Structure 1
Amino acid sequence: MPPQATRVRPSRPALNLVSVAEAAALLDRSPRTVRHLAANGTIPAHRIGARTWAIDRASLDTYRHGGAAA
């Protein structure tokens, strides 16, 4: 019997997300400030549940270096 073909999924770009604590350390700000920036849309972030934010690292780096976070 010939071996069965395995199905290969197309690769997706890996999401590089950081927590509020990690973002605070990178920005040298408090976690409260980072949550405020995420809540008002200054830095792109996604809510995970009621209390957790996931922040895109690339957008955070752009914001950190003075660019407009996308």
Structure 2
Amino acid sequence: MNINVGIIDRAIRIIIGLALISQVFFGLHTPWGWIGVVPLLTGIVGYCGLYTLLGIKTCPVKNH
């Protein structure tokens, strides 16, 4: 599993994930807020399966 999510994309995913999860505790109180776990985990891990399927890579390529 290669990292395919860049730094800025990861930060945005983490912020969105935390915002959605916080809605469960402080806002709307619906189970739909738990959908924020997906962007939070992909932001932390740095890998997005959908990006792999679509051939997208937002992280810079490292030259060896």
* TM-score, normalised relative to structure 2: 0.29
Bigger Cα Rg: 1
* TM-score, normalised relative to structure 1: 0.27
